[in-house]
Chain A
Amino acid sequence: MHGIAAALAIFFVTLVGFLILRASERHIAPSKSTAPARVPFTGGRAPDTHAWNRYHVRYYPMTLLFLAFDMEMVFMYPWAVVFVDEGLIALIEMFMFIVILLFGILYTWRERALEWA
């Protein structure tokens, strides 16, 4: 329990500490924002539209592949702990599972779905 509490404490102390440091700039260099200073920089000219848009995430096939592997990783954590006790059977089981997933990569790669431009 101490461990989790310490981790959370470190997380929040750092987070709040950084936010306080950021707020400190108000005292060192107070900012007064003007319209021309707010123009997003792309070389000196103002944009027509917002930059935010329904961004075409062209690597989406890769993100789907990632989901599969991410799940595999979740299984691997407990597997790693009991692995030596379970012995060879655990190795073979994980081997089969991973080989199937590797075929997925092979297929995706052959279809050139990892590239997008």
Chain B
Amino acid sequence: MNALRVVIAVVSVGAVSVAGIYLAAWVDLLVGRAVAGLEVRPLDALSAPLRWGAATALKTRTTTERPDAETWALAPALLAALAAVGLAAVPLAPGLLAADVANGIVLFGAAMALVVVAVFLQGWSPNSPLPMIGGYRFIAEGLSYEIPLAVVLIAAALPARSLAIAPIVTSQEHLWNIVRQPLGLPLYLMAGLGLAFWGPLALPEGQDLAGGSSLETSGVSRILWRTAQLLVLVAVAAMGAAVFLGGWLGPLFPGAAWMIVKTIILLVPLIATRHFVARVPTERYVVVSWAILIPLSLLDVFIAGIQALVAAR
């Protein structure tokens, strides 16, 4: 019985991954077209990611003079696997949790911390100057978003008195964390953008590096890399929905429906940032992250702590 539930949960993680990735690619196209002042044509755009994928898959994979072929092959697979574990740590409905561990926050944090390794390998492996700069750049970026990411999640765990995600969701029965800890969600989303190296925080893959860490990647590998990146965004949105928007809680509809709606509510603005916010310079991002975002995230913990103590009285 228990095993069956785990199987269902694992299958749901797979379904959410595929649907989420496709949705992300589609929304990105739609927002891009709208911002560019083109006709949006949502139905026409629905097939565009598939067509791009088909065209890319038919290209051969190029290599460089002396790449580290093994780590280059590993990078997209590792990124996707880490993102999938991150998503598996999120309860998609009451009782529907694939990675049902006592310390869900720690599992998510651990998986996301290793994203730095995957992106670095992608940049470093081709033995080409611009991807290499991108890879090293991502380490600076990663070390800067890592602490706000973990700290705001810990703050959300305080009122629940647990590091498991399900109690964090139920602790929001009366008041969602987005209201209770107003600093939490914005800081989390900023860190999430860094984690997915997307939009304003696409530092390892910026246009100034002509594509950076994925510059030398072609063919199927390119599809896999893009897919894995979008999966990170989906995992970030789903975890954000569970921890800050009350997860499956909501009237009338089943919990899973609420979870899907809330994940989309976070995913769309995350995707859209790419078309509204310019890429941030690496160095200034590091300074601002340390001098402003990290102190703010610590402030968030204190606000959450005092509230939790008052509530416990």
Residues in chain A within 8 A of chain B (CB atoms): 2-4, 6-7, 9-12, 14-19, 21-22, 24-25, 28-33, 37-42, 47, 50-52, 55, 57, 59, 62-63, 65-66, 69-70, 73, 76-77, 80-81, 83-85, 87-88, 91, 94-95, 98, 102, 105, 108-109, 114-117
Contact = CB atoms under 8 A, between A and B. Distances in A.
A81 B162 contact: yes
B99 A29 contact: no
B266 to A, nearest CB: 22
Interface in B47-62: 57-62
A14 B163 contact: no
A52 B66 CA distance: 10
Given A19-B73, A51-B129, A98-B298, A76 B290 contact: no
B226 interface: no
Nearest to B136: A55
17 contacts: A6-B98, A6-B99, A14-B77, A29-B60, A31-B60, A31-B219, A38-B65, A40-B127, A51-B126, A66-B143, A76-B151, A80-B163, A81-B163, A83-B158, A83-B308, A84-B312, A114-B286
A38 B57 contact: no
A41 to B, nearest CB: 6
A81 B60 contact: no
Contact of A10 (B84, B140, B215): B84
B309 interface: yes
Given A2-B6, A52-B127, A117-B283, A22 B65 contact: no
A22 B77 contact: yes
B282 to A, nearest CB: 9
Contact of B65 (A7, A39, A59, A94): A39
A46 B291 CA distance: 41
A19 B274 CA distance: 29
Main secondary structure of the interface of B (DSSP, over half): helix
Interface string B295-313: 1001001100110110010
Interface magnitude class on chain B: 35 or more
Interface string B154-194: 10011101110000000000000000000000000000000
Contact of A59 (B3, B57, B97, B286): B286
A84 B129 contact: no
A11 B85 contact: yes
Interface string B103-145: 1011100000000000000001011111110001001100110
A96 to B, nearest CB: 12
Contact of A42 (B103, B129, B151): B129
B62 to A, nearest CB: 6
Contact of B220 (A2, A22, A51, A102): A22
Interface in B89-108: 89, 97-103, 105-107
A91 B132 CA distance: 43
